[in-house]
Amino acid sequence: MKPNWRSLPKVAAAAAVLSAAGCSTNDDPPAATLECGWSSTAAAESAPGACGVGDPTLPPEPTLPTTVCQTLTANKSTPDESQLDTVTIQAALTACAGSGAVKLTSSGSNNVFVAGHLQVTGQVLWIDSGVTLYASRNPFYYNDDGNCGLIGVSDSSACAPLISVTGANAGIVGDGIIDGQGGEPLVGEAYSWWDLSNALRSSNGSGPNPALIEVKTATNFLMYRITLHNSPKAHVKLSANAPATGCAGHPGSGFTVWGVTILTPSTLTNSLGYPVTPYYARNTDGYDPGEFAATSCGVIACSIVSTGDDQIAIKAAHGATDFVIAHNHFGSGHGMSIGSETNGKVANIDVHDLTIDGSSRWTGAPLSDTGDFNGIRVKSDESRGGPVSGVSFSNVCVRDVVNAIVVNSSYNPLFSGTLYPEFHDITISDFHGVSCISLLPPVVNLEGFNAQFPAGPLTLDNVIVDGITPLDIAAQFSNVVLGPGNVNFEPHGPGVTVENKIQGKEAPVACSFPLLPVPE
């Protein structure tokens, strides 16, 4: 068993507040009592100032800036496209380089800023409580190559983001909101950014949409306490590295994300009354660390992510190493993922104390599919594969997800190449998949590429997936180690070897899930 730090929201320390709501395990050992509702205790343990206390893998919780260079006051109460604040905000950021934060504040009912592309080059942008910075809905302000906002065009590089970040010690902080307006009609058009993405769903194309935040060539970047809504595409693309002193003893010196909430969509309908759901918000990853360049020394902690694609997808076309992802709560989304780009090397990734709650998903049209309900995923294919090693997932609870654990070396069978996935030294421990209202059985998928490039060792230690049957397990070309903690399934398939080290029938991890924010 891994150490249970004081802030873990799922484990037996919270058992006193758990109620028996009819969801329990049928495994051989004494059944753990599980909560099919939501735990206020779990939410309290993730509150600012409490989360992460006593966890030796994390740095201290960040703080808000002590110096404000300029304060800008909102002059409107709605996201009026005729009154953009881009020039004003950018001028303040430029003037305040190295001199403190630029703080966006409200005045009475005026609490809205609207901007096109902004550049943060070492400064801190502070969005105060009650303030919303909206991304303009006009593609003109993000256009990089002429295709931004054009329907039917697949172009992942068409648009600049709302906010570009470079340099050392930059940050985006505060208790306010950044809203990308992804589901709202573009200026002069009847379609939204998300309509552009959905028009390319059948061809797996990438809509010409802007990301919300792109961090490139940064060091010691900080996101703290901010809320992100409705990005047109990925919310945060993160590429940052530690200073020359290196990572050792300095977690988060590349980047730190702490106490951030992502909720997309944030409403049940858009301003025209059209229903919006995570499925409709296509390609809206929460965090893509490693997107642009080799990235190391990263921390994502004490945060909430509900979105329409991967909650976290570690991208490693250039390399991604030495990350700690701890004490986070996920709602809707495609999972805690590594890949699909792994050709630059993934190493030393520690994911612990994580809840993924599929039952938090709201209903409406367009509907979701089974790919929207994922737990842990390690994914790549022969067009972008490479070495993945030293990866640990521990103290993980998932509820009502279909794909509980996925290790997939042929993520996109339409792609070809000779960059074969090499998945080694991946450990999943103290994992419990809880089924409370699931309409489909849970699935475990452990698949290496072929006999020459098998996956493994894949170690499963105290891994219990409620309701799983032998028909729900797919495996090939994988070397699997079971134990020493109990595992309630055993993979079989071509090229699969299993080493059974199970020592006893310990009880599954007791799971407690916080009540997550939901759209209005």
Residue 415 confidence class, pLDDT cut points 50, 70, 90: confident
In a domain, 516, yes or no: no
Residue 474 has pLDDT above 70, yes or no: yes
Residue 366 confidence class, pLDDT cut points 50, 70, 90: low
Q: 210: cis peptide before it, omega within 30°?
A: no
Gyration radius (Cα) of the chain, Å = 22
Q: What is the pLDDT of residues 65-82, one digit of tens each?
A: 999 999 999 999 999 999
Q: What is the pLDDT of residues 223-279, one digit of tens each?
A: 999 999 999 999 999 999 887 777 878 899 999 999 999 999 999 999 999 989 999
225 conformational bin, left if phi > 0, alpha if psi -120 to 50, beta if neither: left
Of the listed 117, 327, 329, 334, which one is catalytic? 334
In a domain, 105, yes or no: yes
- Catalytic, 334? Answer yes
Residue 383 burial (CB < 10 Å; 0-12/13-18/19+)? middle
Of the listed 55, 288, 309, 461, which one is catalytic? 309
Residue 459 confidence class, pLDDT cut points 50, 70, 90: very high
Please report which residue ranges of 384-443 form alpha helices under DSSP H. none
Residue 508 near residue 464, CB atoms below 8 Å: yes
Residue 84: CA count within 13 A, CB half-sphere: 15
In a domain, 147, yes or no: yes
Residue 121: CA count within 13 A, CB half-sphere: 10
More confident call, 440 vs 44 = 440
Instruction: Indicate the DSSP class of residue 195.
Output: H
In a domain, 508, yes or no: no
Domain containing residue 145: 12-57+68-500
In a domain, 5, yes or no: no
**DSSP reduced 3-state for 371:** helix
pLDDT over 70, % of the chain: 90
In a domain, 506, yes or no: no
- Give 312's strand partners: 287, 336
91 conformational bin, left if phi > 0, alpha if psi -120 to 50, beta if neither: alpha
- Domain count across the chain: 1
Residue 44 confidence class, pLDDT cut points 50, 70, 90: low
In a domain, 259, yes or no: yes
Helix (H) or strand (E) holding 196: helix 193-198
The terminus-to-terminus CA distance of the chain in angstroms comes to: 40
The CATH number covering residue 141 comes to: 2.160.20.10
- Catalytic, 309? Answer yes
In a domain, 359, yes or no: yes
